[in-house]
Amino acid sequence: MGVGALVRLVGAAVIAVVPICANAGATRPVGAAALLAQAEKAASIHPDRLPALLEQLHRRSGQLSSAQRWRLRELDAWHLSFRGDPGKADPIFRDIIDHSGDPSVSALAMAWLIKDEFDNHRYVEAYTLTNTLMADLPRVSDPMARRVALGQVIYVLNSSTVGQHDLALSYARQMQASFPSPAGQCSATFFETQTLLFAGKLPSNSSWFQRTIDLCTAAKQPLLVSSIRLDQASHMVDEGHAKRAIAYVHRMAPEIQKTQYPEYIAELSAILAQAYQSLGNAAKARELALASLATPGTGGARWLEQTAYEVLYKAEKKAGNATAALAYYEKYVALDKSALDDAKARALAYQMVKQQVEAKKLKLEALGKQNRILQLRQALADQAQKTSRLFSMLLLVVIAFIVLAMFWLWRSRRRFQWMARHDGLTGVCNREHFFEEAERVLRRLHRTGADTCLVVLDLDHFKRVNDTHGHAVGDEVLRRAVAVVRQELGDSGVLGRLGGEEFGILMPNSSREQGHEVASRIRRAMAATPMMLDSKLTIMVSASFGLACSAGSVHTLRQLLIEADAALYRAKDGGRNQVVTDVCDDASTSARSLADSVTLSL
C-alpha cells in the first residue's frame, strides 16, 4: 500500500461521504427548499444535473432562509471544485468559513477546502485547516456535515508521512458509532479497513476486506467496493501471493470495468503486471504495464505511471535491452524523486504546523504565567521587597522555560533536517542528498579542472541474505558494509545510499588510478572481513564495483552515473566481486576492465 491507494481513496471515499439529502428528515419540502434538497441529492448521485438545479435555485434564492442560502453557496463552490476549478471555489469556501456562523455548513466548506489544498500540494494550509476542523468537530451537530468532515480528517491523517493511523482509526470508529445507516456503515468500515491497511496491521486474507465489500455492496457503493478489492489484490502481490492475486483480479475485473473509472481499470493492469513480474514472466508483465500506461483518462496519475515504468525497467533489464531499460529507469527515477519530494513536503508541512501549534501553546502558557505574576504583584503590593524577589524568581523560571522550549524546537528542527538528508538505516547520505552534494562538488571542481571519480557498488547476492536469514540480519549486514566502506574511504569522498543494497561514492580530486586503488581497497577489505552477527552466525559478503572518472572540465553527474552503472553491470556479468572501470575520451567511447577479483560466495 502506498501513495497510489491514498490518491484513489480520496477520489472514491469523498464521493461516498457526500450526503444523499441534508433535509431527509423534513416533512414534504416545497418550493425552493425542495429544489435545494434535489441539488444536494444530485451532488452525490448525478453531478451532471447539478448546474440546472443551481440555476433554478439562484432565480428563487429570495425564498430561501439565510442558512439555506449559505448551503446554496457551499453547493456552488463544491460544483466548481468538482469541475476542477479550485481557484474560483476556494474563495467561496473561505467566505463560508469566516461569515456563515453555521458550524455545520462551515465544517462542510472546510472539508472541501482541505481536499483542494491537499490536491494542490499546499500542505501547510491543509494541515492547519485540518487542525481547526478537528477542534470544531464537537460543535458540528448536523450528521451529514459531521460525516463528511470525519472522512476528510481521516484521509489527511492517513496521508501523513509521520504516521497518524491510531488517531485516524479512532475517528473511523467514531463514524461507525454515529452513522447506523447502510451508507454510513459502509463508509466507516471502509475508512477503518483502509487505516488498518496503511498502518500495516491487515494481512491480505483478513476478513475485514470481505466485511467491507459486503457492507458497501449492500449500500450500493460500487466505487468503494472496487477500491477495497484493488487494495486487497495489491496487498496480495506485496505479500508474495502473486498467483492468488492474478486469479482474484481476473474474477473481479468485470465488476471493476463496469464502473468505467479509468484509474481503476489502469490499476487492474498495473497489479497484474507486478504479479507476473514476481513470477518471472517478464513478457506478460511488460505487456500489462504498457496497457496500464495506455489507459485513457487517468489524468497522468503519477503513482500508476511509476508502477508501470518500474515493471518495464525490470522487464527490459531482464531481457538484456540496456537502452530501453535505461530509458524506462530514468522515467521511473524521475517519478520516484517527485513522489519523494512530495512526501518530504508533506512531512515538512506537518512538522511546521505541529511546531506552530506547540509554539502557540507555549506562548499561551507563558502569557498565563505572566498574568499570574502580575496578579501576585498586585496582591503583595504592601510587601515590596518580598514581592520583588518572588517576581524576579518567577520571571527567571518563565525565561528559562521559554529558552528550554526554543532550544527543544531548534534541536527538533536540526534533527528533522538531518533525517531528511540521511538514510535512516545506515546513516549515510540518502539518494537526494548524495546527488545534491555530488552536483555541488562537481560544480566546484569544474572551475578548477580537477579529476573526479564516481563509484557505484552493489552487495553481491544480498537478496540471498534476506531470504536466508531475514531482513533484520540483512539490515545489520548493510550497516556493517557501510562501516567497512567508511573505514577505507576516510574523509576523502562523499558516500550515499542510492537504494536497496546499492551505494555511491564520489571521490573529488582523484585520478582514474587513484579511484581504482580506493575501490579495490574497499573491495578487498569487504571480501576479507567476516561479519560476526552473533556467536553462531558469521556471514562473508562481497561487492561489485563500477567506476567512472572524468578528466579536465568534463564533470557531468548524469554521464558519470551512466558510465558507473554500465561498469557495475559488467562487473556483475563478469562474476561479481570485482572493480570494473569505464574509460571515456572526447573522440570515442571505449571501455576496459581493471578487475581485481576474488571468488567468494555467501
User: What is the structure's pLDDT at 24?
Assistant: 36
* Number of C-beta neighbours around residue 159 at 10 A: 23
Please tell me the distance from the alpha carbon of residue 206 to that of residue 86, in angstroms, as a whole number: 39
**Residue position matching grid coordinates 440546472:** 52
- The separation between the first and the last C-alpha atoms of the chain, rounded to the nearest angstrom, is 32
User: What is the structure's pLDDT at 300?
Assistant: 56
State mean pLDDT over 282-309: 83
Domain over 431-591 is classified CATH 3.30.70.270: yes
Q: State pLDDT tens for residues 36-82.
A: 878 877 666 566 778 888 888 888 888 888 888 898 888 888 888 77
Whether 292 shows a pLDDT value over 60: the answer reads yes
Provide the 8-state DSSP code for 320: T
**Residue position matching grid coordinates 560544480:** 443
Q: State pLDDT tens for residues 382-395.
A: 777 777 777 778 88
User: What is the structure's pLDDT at 157?
Assistant: 80
Q: Which helix (H) or strand (E) holds 125?
A: helix 123-136
**Residue 108 vs residue 31, higher pLDDT:** 108
**Residue 348 vs residue 5, higher pLDDT:** 348
Cell of 219: 449500500
Whether 8 shows a pLDDT value over 50: the answer reads no
Half-sphere exposure of 512 (CA within 13 A, CB side): 18
**Residue position matching grid coordinates 468485470:** 254
Please tell me the distance from the alpha carbon of residue 73 to that of residue 591, in angstroms, as a whole number: 68
State mean pLDDT over 331-346: 82
DSSP collapsed to 3 states, 156-204: HHHHCCCCCHHHHHHHHHHHHHHCCCHHHHHHHHHHHHHHHHHCCCCCC
pLDDT confidence tier of residue 160, bands split at 50, 70 and 90? low
State mean pLDDT over 116-145: 83
With residues binned 3-state (H G I as helix, E B as strand, rest as coil), the percentages for the chain, rounded to 5, are 70, 5, 20
* pTM, 2 dp: 0.51
User: What is the structure's pLDDT at 587?
Assistant: 33
Whether 585 shows a pLDDT value over 70: the answer reads no
Cα 343 to Cα 7, 63, 126, 421, 437: the distances in Å are 13, 48, 14, 13, 21
Amino acid at 353: V
Average pLDDT of every residue of the chain: 81
User: What is the structure's pLDDT at 554?
Assistant: 57
Amino acid at 43: A
User: What is the structure's pLDDT at 456?
Assistant: 95
Q: State pLDDT tens for residues 174-214.
A: 888 888 888 888 888 888 888 888 888 889 899 999 999 99
Q: State pLDDT tens for residues 208-265.
A: 999 999 999 888 888 888 889 999 999 999 999 999 999 999 999 998 888 777 888 8
Please tell me the distance from the alpha carbon of residue 343 to that of residue 340, in angstroms, as a whole number: 5
- The pair phi, psi for residue 580, each rounded to 5°, is -120, 130
**Residue 587 vs residue 449, higher pLDDT:** 449
Please tell me the distance from the alpha carbon of residue 316 to that of residue 64, in angstroms, as a whole number: 64
Q: State pLDDT tens for residues 479-529.
A: 999 999 999 988 888 999 998 899 999 999 888 999 999 999 999 999 998
**Residue 587 vs residue 10, higher pLDDT:** 10
**Among the ranges given (1-5, 76-80, 162-166, 203-207), the one the predictor scored with the smallest mean pLDDT:** 1-5
State the helix-helix crossing angle for 143-159 and 165-178, rounded to 10 degrees: 160
* Number of C-beta neighbours around residue 592 at 10 A: 10
Spatial CB neighbours of 139, under 8 Å, sequence gap ≥ 6: 103
pLDDT confidence tier of residue 574, bands split at 50, 70 and 90? very high
pLDDT-above-90 percentage for the chain: 26
**Among the ranges given (397-411, 473-487, 555-569), the one the predictor scored with the smallest mean pLDDT:** 397-411
* 8 A C-beta contact, residue 146 and residue 137: yes
Whether 287 shows a pLDDT value over 70: the answer reads yes
Handedness of CA 499, 501, 504, 505 (dihedral sign): positive
**Residue position matching grid coordinates 507555549:** 362
Please tell me the distance from the alpha carbon of residue 17 to that of residue 107, in angstroms, as a whole number: 14
Q: Which helix (H) or strand (E) holds 589?
A: strand 589-591
Long-range Cβ pairs for the range 20-26 (8 Å, 24+): 20/44, 20/45, 20/183, 22/71, 22/142, 22/144, 22/145
Whether 268 shows a pLDDT value over 70: the answer reads yes
- The pair phi, psi for residue 13, each rounded to 5°, is -70, -40
Please tell me the distance from the alpha carbon of residue 441 to that of residue 508, in angstroms, as a whole number: 7
Cα 408 to Cα 344, 353, 400, 413, 511: the distances in Å are 22, 16, 12, 9, 45
- The pair phi, psi for residue 441, each rounded to 5°, is -65, -45
State mean pLDDT over 553-572: 87
- Which residue in 336, 298, 338 sits closest to 11, CA to CA? 298
pLDDT confidence tier of residue 29, bands split at 50, 70 and 90? very low
User: What is the structure's pLDDT at 446?
Assistant: 80
User: What is the structure's pLDDT at 45?
Assistant: 56
Whether 168 shows a pLDDT value over 50: the answer reads yes
User: What is the structure's pLDDT at 43?
Assistant: 67
User: What is the structure's pLDDT at 600?
Assistant: 31
State mean pLDDT over 534-551: 87
* 8 A C-beta contact, residue 33 and residue 175: no
Spatial CB neighbours of 186, under 8 Å, sequence gap ≥ 6: 16, 212, 215, 216, 218, 219, 221, 224
Please tell me the distance from the alpha carbon of residue 36 to that of residue 32, in angstroms, as a whole number: 6
Q: Characterize 191-202 residue by residue with b for buried, 16 or more Cβ atoms within 10 angstroms of its Cβ, and e for exposed.
A: bbbbbbbbbeeb
pLDDT-above-70 percentage for the chain: 88
Q: State pLDDT tens for residues 97-106.
A: 889 888 888 9
Q: State pLDDT tens for residues 224-238.
A: 888 899 999 999 999
* 8 A C-beta contact, residue 433 and residue 506: no
**Residue 404 vs residue 485, higher pLDDT:** 485
All structural domains of the chain with their residue ranges: 340-421, 431-591
pLDDT confidence tier of residue 588, bands split at 50, 70 and 90? very low
Spatial CB neighbours of 208, under 8 Å, sequence gap ≥ 6: 189, 192, 193, 196, 202
**Residue 142 vs residue 572, higher pLDDT:** 572
Please tell me the distance from the alpha carbon of residue 474 to that of residue 227, in angstroms, as a whole number: 34
